[in-house]
Structure 1
Amino acid sequence: MNKMTLRTLPALILIAFSGAASAAAFQLWEQNASGLGTAYAGSAAVADNASTVFFNPAGMTQLTGFQLSAGVNGIGPRFEFNNEGSSGLLGGSGNGGNAGGWAAVPNAYFSWQLSPNWYLGFGVSAPFGLSTEYNNSNWIGKNQSIKSEIKTVNYNPSVAYKVNDKVSLGFGVNYQTINAEMTNATPLGLYALKGDDSAWGWNAGALFTLSPAMRVGISYRSAVSYTLEGTRSLGATSSAAKADIKLPDTFILSVWQQVSDRWEAMGDLSYTNWSTLDKLKINHSTGTDVEAFNYKDSWRFAWGAAYRATESTKLKFGIAYDKTPTTNNDRSARVPDNDRVWFSLGGQWNTGKTGTFDLGYSYLYLKDPTINQSKLNGASTLRGRYDDSAHVVGLQYSVGF
């Protein structure tokens, strides 16, 4: 286990991979920019560049030679609180401003065809990320939250095997690091928890080519269990602390179809087992602190299409519904989340031998969530409504040799 420092990874890498979640809770779907324009519909079946290593490693069998894909997504969420009757022991004044802000989430992948039937791949990505920080540390909800941050980096070697022209299988191993921090105010001073760890997981997938114009993909990413080790501080007192956390597993079912010479259609159904995250129990020398999540399992539905405008240019669009794992009774100021709808647009430009560029944009509409969160044994209750939304912009370069 790692102590509460940044020594697990160079600090600059962790900063680059910090993210403010745009999918439900603090999951990050933004693992490429080529799928952003279709709201990630068909993510486990499209397999048109090396980023399939993340979504479905079996998709590498659709690629030839050596393929490289790298990109970055900028995520800009907005979480603005409006007070509606908060009571008890509260902060100073003000609603805390925008607790969101822009963050960069880079990614990189490659795949290599070893033989007609065997493929190797590798990916670096950030499956989960969260960053909320209220502008005023003395805001009305300071007892509930001031800063909350989770950073993950995932290293994903993969292998794929083409069984025949109809069936391909893929498997990957995941080495994932996590770095977490959360703070809030108490009558005894600032409460702060910092911790990090690394752990192993796995992912697998299958790709079924039903016809030259239709593919169906299924994929699964396992849960990853951590034991965060670091420090727990309360005012001027600090002590070593541990906390177990299990990030959820995800299942994806995707379809891709070539409708005509110019049109492609794709769809996605995904399920994330968020119920693995119930309570965070922080064990330290003087007792145990509990941060409640009470998350429920969630679903995501997406549909998208692509239109080949010219031999080198595609236009993309998509829509998705992403259900939150939290409820009105359990929503917290750390993750003021709610159901969201993705509206996505994108474009692809194939320059030929010099590679392919993808540009995508999504606007995330969130139904404004309400909050009724009590802390300090009920002595402080934050009541109100959040104004939530997000913008996502992505750029990706892919090339084959």
Structure 2
Amino acid sequence: MNKTRLFKKSIIAVTIALASQQAVAAGFQLNAQSATGLGRAFAGDAVIADNASSMARNPATMALFDETAMSLGFVTITSMIEVKDATYTQSYLDATGQPMSSSSQSANYDDAGGTSVAPNLHLIVPVNDKFAWGLNAYTNFGTKTEFDSSYVAGEYGGSTDVKSFNLGLAGSYRINQQWSVGAGLDLVYGSGKFSRAMTTSGTKLVDIDADGWGLGFNLGTVYEMNENNRFGLAYHYSPELEADGDVNYAGYTGASGSINDTLLMPLPDILELSGYHRIEDTKFAVHYSVQWIGWSSFDKLEGKTSGTINTYEWQNGMHYSLGGTYYLNEDWTIRAGYMYDTSAQDEVTSISVPDSDRQWFSTGFTYHITPKSNIDFGFTYLLGDDVKVSESTTLPTGQTTPYPTYLNTNMEATTHADAILVGLQYSRTF
């Protein structure tokens, strides 16, 4: 393999793979379909059906509506990412891989997070007492992180801006008084912009601008014991996105231009079980969800031209959420919830992907403007854990005389990521 080819493969492996982790890591799966769900940590969201946003979690919940329903809102996600106890080491190696010189320095960083906005729109239209259809638009994945251009470990930090958009069409059918079923199609668009650079030399390693589409589907069912007790089960098949990307790099002697490739990025399937129980003769209801997320499907990142770019050892994730709703009066509904959310990453970690087990502390309310319209507010503080990170890479320096030399860099650090999510939503029936 010549030096230019090695350079290409090394840079793609280091930068595109890290950036793709950013797009699909469990820490950045967005539960942002509604402000209502946000206010209860999405506990019971596959069955509660208190507004049209429920169709995003379970299409069968559309059968619970006897009027046309619409919900429109957004959720803001502000991530707070800290890199601490960090040591960055550079070592120059000879052609045999033996170190010739090395140096180390602190690589702490206070806040690499950013703020993203995830809008959502949901519409449910009952046709008769058996059938309903619906349309929606929301996002399942997205994040924004940025390290300053002067950050010492620029090849591991850099900037990342990932967005996704899900367009859905679904239908539901009521089998009888207890059972309803639903199904839908999801057209998913994803885009990402990433940059990485060697801070010490000023060499810009890569700029990536990639986007693409995938087609998924969802299935669901609802079982109603009575008007106060029901269960929901939903399955979402997530597609493999094909993202066409331009990878531009400069500053390395003998290497210029760009790599054009199509990245294959599998997203995880999701299975969710929810329950809702309103306590008889009270104003209080309890609800819960257990969600399985198939992150092990992301075993590697591939390019149609480049082949296998990087491999992963990810594990499937789980969400466990419990919430309560208090129907205060005709004007106000108050809710709260707690979620424990497990990490997708196991041994493979990164400072640009501060994934960990997380706890969600959520609260929110609904204000009923009229019997047919309301405003929802939701707030969540997401608390992550400390994660030990060890990263390293080796790149050719471009020096060929008297022999080729290489630069090895290593990062040892602890990352911690928290987040604040705020949602606002307007809903009404017609």
Normalized per residue, the structure richer in helix is: 2
What residue number does 1:152 align with? 164
2:183 corresponds to 1:166: no
Corresponding residue to 2:373 among 347, 352, 355: 355
Contact 2:385/2:417 (8 A) holds in 1: yes
Given candidates 333, 342, 350, the residue that maps to 1:332 is: 350
Greater mean deviation of Cα atoms: 266-275 or 93-102: 93-102
Worse-matched range after superposition: 377-386 or 225-234: 377-386
Does the 8 Å CA contact 1:68/1:400 hold for their aligned counterparts?
Answer: yes
Alignment partner, residue 270 of structure 1: 291
Kept in 2, the 8 Å contact 1:249–1:272? The answer is yes
Q: Contact 2:163/2:191 (CA < 8 Å) preserved in 1?
A: yes
Q: Is the CA contact (8 Å cut-off) linking 2:219 and 2:234 kept in structure 1? A: yes
What SS does the aligned partner of 1:30 have?
A: coil
**Distance (whole Å) between structure 1 residues aligned to residue 301 and residue 108 of structure 2:** 26
Residues 263-314 of structure 1, C-alpha deviations (whole Å, 9 max, x = no match): 0000100000001112223455xx5672444321110100000111222211
Superposed, 1:12-51 pairs within 5 Å as 24-51=26-53
Question: Is structure 2 residue 108 aligned with structure 1 residue 95?
Answer: yes
Structure 2: unaligned runs, 5 residues or longer = 1-21, 92-102, 251-255, 396-406
Sort the Cα spacing of 1:400 and 1:21 in 2 relative to 1 into closer, same or farther, 3 A: farther
For 1:212, the equivalent position in structure 2 comes to 227
Tell me which residue corresponds to 1:72. Answer: 74
CA offset digits 1:100-128 (Å, max 9, x no partner): 11211110000011011100101000011
Work out the CA distance in 2 between the residues paired with 1:46 and 1:354: 17
Q: Rg larger in 1 or in 2?
A: 2
- 1:140 matched to 2:156: no
Distance 2:207 2:295 in 1: 25
Q: Is 2:184 the partner of 1:178? A: no
SS at match of 1:395: strand
TM-score normalised to structure 2 length:
0.83
Distance 1:289 1:237 in 2: 22
Q: CA deviation at 1:215?
A: 0.6
Question: Partner residue of 1:130?
Answer: 143
Instruction: Find the aligned partners of 2:150 and 2:311 in 1 and give their Cα distance.
Output: 23
Alignment check: 8 A CA contact 1:91 1:139 kept? no
Counterpart position of 1:85: 87
For residue 423 of structure 2, what is the aligned residue in structure 1?
394
- Counterpart-to-counterpart distance in 2, 1:218 and 1:245: 26
Partner AA of 2:39 in structure 1: G
RMSD of aligned alpha carbons: 2.2
- Give the TM-score of the pair, scaled to structure 1: 0.89
| Aligned partner letter, 1:105 | A
Moved over 4 A (4+): 20-23, 89-94
Structure-1 residue corresponding to 2:61: 59
CA contact (8 A) 2:86 2:108 kept: no
Distance 1:53 1:41 in 2: 15
Give the equivalent residue in structure 2 for 1:368: 386
Report how far residue 347 of structure 1 moved: 0.8
| 3-state secondary structure, aligned to 1:347 | strand
Structure 1: 5+ residue runs without aligned partners? 1-19
SS of the counterpart of 2:62?
A: helix
> Which residue is equivalent to 1:257?
277
Identity level (%) = 26
Structure 2 CA distance, aligned partners of 1:184 and 1:245?
20
- The answer on whether the counterparts of 1:75 and 1:393 sit within 8 Å (CA) in structure 2 is yes
Query: What residue number does 2:262 align with?
Result: 242
